[in-house]
């Protein structure tokens, strides 16, 4: 039924639509600006995560205390996801992305102060709340803007945008490792990163088109600076429209695809190293190497994913990747030789690599921009449940049944994601 309903919505882009597209130079600038925002979000995330041990030691936190501090950021990130459609409807993508990344920067500075100048758990919690809220909000806004750029470009670029987030995490981790090796305290490190993020964000968003229906563009603005948009609706009308998307069954199925694949992705980040050590009885060096294999496989799949999606379509690719991911997980769980773990990890990483970006593209694949933002926010909340709920669930199951047996849950979720794949079918043909 989902397949038939989705196929019925397919439209063909007309010559008039193509003629109304922006010049290639403007499209590239827009795309590159969104690349930069994804990179900055990843940079901020890795900068904080890599300094958690230093934050813990300076504030003399227990392991449970670290978990509670991190929880503050996680809860705030959900608040950011909820607020993002409102921010986008009120201020537009330019101000939305710049302001939320500035909030992230302020949060990093607050964490730095409470982690190397004066021991202060409240300052760290406040900083993580700002950090989580800003990153949650910018996640939605940058995906909405990226999906719009993708539609106008006429090629799938969302996976590559998410790859830039991965590039940002690599850069952030490298800088943090260097700062730690040079015995640079958390505060100066995070302040420099925060300033760089804030400045880069303000510069990058200048190349994101203004939205006349959001009231961004001044009177008399040229057509190259604004969209040919419908009459502007009131804020209340846009807000009410954004709440109606939760009644869309297709949107829930898109969220199910993202939930299954995000659960597999997030669980690897949290548990794959421990599974190698406790489940397969290899040493910590092998565990780190296996985790590196996973991240490389996922990033490479996202870099290469766009052309594959354009060639075969979202539904077949997601179905194949769900099967590949499930096969890789089975090989990782039941394998006994090192090569089995490596091959299984590669397939696992590739299998769950495109679920989140494809889900974002599918959710945003509607003409109305206010509805697009609300839909992206909704599926993002569904997908992020995997990152929030996954670690404690697998931890509980691993404690009682063993970590490798706990990973069997991911097999079932990937099968469910593959079955729900028709929900991500393209609404428009490029």
DSSP letter (8 states) at residue 117: T
Q: Are 353 and 256 in contact (CB under 8 A)?
A: no
CA distance 333 to 411: 10
Query: In this predicted structure, what is the pLDDT of residue 26?
Result: 86
- How far, in Å, are 172, 196, 210 from residue 178 at the CA level? 10, 17, 39
Q: Per-residue pLDDT averaged across 296-304, rounded?
A: 88
Instruction: Band the pLDDT of 276: cuts 50, 70, 90.
Output: confident
Tell me, yes or no, if the two domains 1-12+244-430 and 21-227 fold the same way: yes
DSSP letter (8 states) at residue 154: T
pLDDT tens across 36-90, in order? Answer: 999 999 899 888 877 777 888 788 777 667 767 777 887 888 888 888 878 887 8
Instruction: Band the pLDDT of 306: cuts 50, 70, 90.
Output: confident
What does the domain layout of the chain look like in residue ranges?
A: 1-12+244-430, 21-227
For residue 424, give both structure tokens. Answer: 């991500």
Would you tell me which CATH number, out of the four given (3.40.1050.10, 1.20.1250.20, 2.130.10.10, 3.40.50.150), belongs to the domain 21-227? 1.20.1250.20
- The pTM score is 0.76
* Paired sense of beta strands 11-12 and 428-429, if any: parallel
Query: Which superfamily does 1-12+244-430 belong to?
Result: MFS general substrate transporter like domains (1.20.1250.20)
Query: In this predicted structure, what is the pLDDT of residue 175?
Result: 86
Element spanning 423, H or E? none
Tell me which of 84-88, 217-221, 328-332, 417-421 is least confident: 217-221
Q: Are 369 and 233 in contact (CB under 8 A)?
A: no
């Amino acid at each position: 039924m989902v397949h038939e309903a989705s196929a019925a919505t397919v439209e063909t882009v007309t010559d008039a639509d193509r003629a109304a597209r922006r010049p290639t130079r403007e499209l590239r600038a827009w795309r590159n600006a969104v690349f930069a925002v994804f990179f900055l979000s990843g940079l901020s995330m890795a900068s904080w995560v890599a300094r958690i041990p230093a934050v813990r030691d300076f504030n003399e936190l227990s392991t449970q205390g670290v978990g509670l501090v991190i929880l503050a950021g996680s809860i705030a990130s959900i608040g950011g996801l909820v607020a993002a459609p409102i921010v986008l409807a009120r201020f537009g993508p330019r101000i939305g992305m710049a302001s939320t990344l500035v909030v992230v920067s302020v949060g990093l500075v607050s964490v730095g102060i409470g982690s190397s100048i004066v021991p202060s758990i409240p300052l760290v919690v406040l900083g993580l709340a700002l950090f989580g809220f800003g990153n949650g909000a910018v996640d939605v806004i940058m995906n909405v803007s990226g999906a719009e750029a993708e539609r106008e470009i006429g090629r799938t670029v969302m996976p590559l945008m998410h790859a830039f987030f991965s590039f940002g995490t690599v850069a952030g981790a490298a800088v943090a490792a260097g700062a730690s090796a040079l015995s640079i305290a958390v505060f100066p490190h995070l302040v420099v990163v925060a300033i760089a993020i804030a400045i880069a964000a303000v510069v990058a968003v200048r190349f994101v088109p203004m939205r006349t229906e959001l009231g961004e563009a001044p009177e008399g603005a040229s057509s190259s600076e604004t969209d040919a948009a419908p009459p502007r609706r009131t804020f209340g009308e846009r807000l009410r429209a954004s709440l109606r998307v939760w009644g869309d069954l297709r949107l829930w199925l898109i969220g199910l695809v993202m939930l299954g694949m995000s659960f597999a992705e997030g669980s690897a980040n949290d548990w794959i190293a421990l599974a190698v050590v406790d489940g397969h009885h290899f040493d910590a060096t092998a565990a780190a190497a296996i985790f590196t294999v996973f991240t490389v496989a996922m990033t490479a799949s996202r870099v290469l994913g766009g052309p594959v999606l354009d060639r075969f379509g979202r539904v077949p690719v997601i179905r194949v990747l769900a099967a590949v991911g499930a096969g890789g997980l089975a090989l990782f769980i039941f394998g006994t030789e090192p090569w089995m773990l490596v091959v299984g990890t590669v397939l696992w990483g590739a299998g769950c690599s495109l679920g989140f970006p494809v889900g974002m593209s599918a959710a945003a694949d509607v003409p109305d921009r206010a509805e697009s933002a609300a839909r992206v926010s909704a599926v993002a909340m569904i997908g992020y449940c995997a990152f929030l709920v996954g670690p404690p669930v697998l931890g509980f199951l691993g404690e009682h049944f063993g970590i490798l047996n706990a990973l069997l849950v991911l097999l079932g979720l990937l099968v469910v994601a593959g079955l729900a794949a028709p929900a991500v079918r393209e609404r428009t043909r490029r």
